[in-house]
Amino acid sequence: MSLSAKELEQHVIRPTLEYLGVSSQSAIDQLLSSAQSESNCSLSHGANSSPDGVGLFQITPTSHREVWDKYLAFRPDLASKVRGLASQRLFLLKPDLELGSNLSYSTAIAWVITQYHRELH
């Protein structure tokens, strides 16, 4: 798959963040930068991706579960919105596959992970 940074911002990152109620350009820039540095898709010029990471943002299954168990579980409104981005069947069978097959869902999880880590520090 080939996506330009502009397409990723316009068609994935911006609409996903707006759906989550986030409208800051710095949030968009942060996720775009993360996608560019973490992904080995055409956006990247030499990826530093994790061998265990999945999808555009190279989110590990461990991080994925942790953000659900330790952050989203205590924010039901946000959890409901994020879950609404996932597919009905695949998420229930193999939730980590959503990170690689669903750009909106993986973008939402990447944003939530940044918020979770921000609260930890």
pLDDT in tens, 12-54: 999 999 999 999 999 999 999 999 988 654 443 334 445 689 9
Q: How confident is the model at residue 3 (pLDDT cuts 50, 70, 90)?
A: confident
- Among 85, 75, 76, 83, which Cα is nearest to 115's? 75
Separation CA 69–CA 31 (nearest Å)? 22
pLDDT in tens, 62-111: 999 999 999 999 999 999 999 999 999 989 999 999 999 999 999 999 99
For the chain, the structural domain boundaries read 5-120
What's the pTM value of the predicted model, to 2 decimals? 0.88
